[in-house]
Each structure stands twice: as structure tokens, then as C-alpha cells.
Amino acid sequence: MGSPLLSYYVRLTDFLGRALGPDYEVALHDLTDHNCSIIAIANNHISGREVGAPLTNVGLKVLKDGSYEETDYLLHYPGLSASGKALRSSTFFIKDGGRLVGMLCINFDDSRYQAASQMILQLCHPDNFVETSFQFDTDRTGDMHLSSAERFHNSIHGVTGDAVARELSRMGMSADHLTSEERMSIIAALEPQGIFLLKGAVKEVSDALQCSQATIYRYLTQVRKEPVEAVGVDP
């Protein structure tokens, strides 16, 4: 465990999971190892993750852009459950002397309550009235969209593969028909997301894009505008 401070949050994770109930997943991340960051998790049926799972796309992006320096938490951003249900996610930044050492995350699956609300409305009104007058927003997070939702995976392969797949989908392309410029565009999109903070991410991305690791390093050098020597080792 990276910081002794996190030992208190391990007990808090179990407490919150029991107190809030089965619709709330509570996950504690130790930022010592981004690839195996989860050190405690309650009600993990919601995301399907286990202890030892890596940081999510949202966690990596926060580390990359340093937004944790300006706030102590993020509230009610979108996430996706293991079964594809929309979640309401929140993260508390655990800091030790100003240094970010961990994240305590709560993912709320309110699908049961949404279903109950719809059933009650249908008891009170004709189906057509409910369909035209009550539209449930599956995003439910203001300006944020599920395209930028937090994804949950048990391995670095899942995190990187999902990130590459989303970029390919956005471009309407497949990995076996990419030009060098299109691969470069994907790397430029992945870099600010913090994907390359994961150890081994270069290999995973090169496999997903069907090119060599040397090619990925070259693209990263251009994106970061760093000397080649500075990008000679997998982050």
C-alpha cells in the first residue's frame, strides 16, 4: 500500500458498501500502481471488477490533466455498468500533503428506481401519455455524454482495447485499414486521456492498431514534442 493514509479508507470502503446497499459500488484506488490500483471494493457486481483491477479511463485522464489539483472530488459523471447500464459515478480525491495518493469512487446503479418510476406512471396514465410526456434521460449528467462515460475493466488489455475501439468507432474505421496519418490521429487522441500512463500500454495499443511498438513511440514523440531519447522506455 503506497500511503498509510489509505488503510483507513479500506475500512471506509467496506462500511460504505454495507451502509449504502447493493446498488452502490464503492472502489478504493491506490495510485502507486496504475495497472493494479484497486485495493478494496464493495458491491463489485456493478462493474464486475476485482481487487487488482487497473485505473479507469476517467482516473487516468484526471492524472494526466491534473484536474485533481483544483478540486477535492468529482460528482455525478456518467459511468457504464458491467451489463451496460448507465451509472451515476462520483470520485473523492485522497491527498496526502497535497499529493494525490488515492481515489475513493462510488458508482450508483439507479436502474431499479427508474424502472419503478416508469411502472408507477404507467399505473396512473395511459402508456402513450407516459411515452410522450416523461422521457428519462439515460445520461442524467448535464452536458456530459455516455460517449465519455467511465468504463470499468479488470485488465490493462481491457482499458487500452476499449479506448482504441472508441477512437476507431468515432472515425468509422477498422484497424486493418488505417493510414499512418490516421494512426497518428488516434495516438494524439489517446495521449491526453492518460492511456500511456499504464505500464505496457504501448504494446497493447500497437497490437490493437496492428503496427509496431516503435511506430507508437515515434507517434508519441511527435505528439509530446519530445526528443526521441525521452520516449525510449514504455511509460
Q: What is the pLDDT of residues 50-67, one digit of tens each?
A: 999 999 999 999 999 999
Per-residue pLDDT averaged across 149-157, rounded?
Answer: 93
pLDDT at 3: 85
Q: Where are the domains of the chain?
A: 6-110, 156-231
Per-residue pLDDT averaged across 136-149, rounded?
Answer: 49
In Å, how far are 59, 197, 204, 212 from 27, measured between CA atoms? 12, 20, 25, 35
Query: pTM (2 decimals)?
Result: 0.81
pLDDT at 125: 61
Residue 99 has pLDDT above 80, yes or no: yes
Residue 230 has pLDDT above 70, yes or no: no
Q: Can you tell me which residue has the cell 468529482?
A: 74
pLDDT at 234: 46
**Mean pLDDT for all residues in the chain:** 87
pLDDT at 81: 85
The most confident of 1-5, 68-72, 82-86, 224-228, by mean pLDDT? 68-72
pLDDT at 15: 97
Give the whole-angstrom CA distance, residue 138 versus residue 148: 13
Q: Can you tell me which residue has the cell 460528482?
A: 75
Strands 73-80 and 99-108: unpaired
Tell me the CATH architecture of domain 6-110: 2-Layer Sandwich (3.30)
Residue 195, phi then psi, degrees to nearest 5: -60, -35
Give the whole-angstrom CA distance, residue 234 versus residue 63: 17
For residue 212, count other CB atoms closer than 10 A to its CB: 12
Residue-wise DSSP of the chain: ---TTHHHHHHHHHHHHHHH-TTEEEEEEETT-GGG-EEEEESTTTT---TTPPPPHHHHHHHHHTGGGS-SEEEEEEEE-TTS-EEEEEEEEEEETTEEEEEEEEEE--HHHHHHHHHHHHHHS-HHHHHHH----SS-STT--GGG-B---SSHHHHHHHHHHHHHHHHT--GGG--HHHHHHHHHHHGGGTGGGSTTHHHHHHHHTTS-HHHHHHHHHHHHT--GGGG-S--
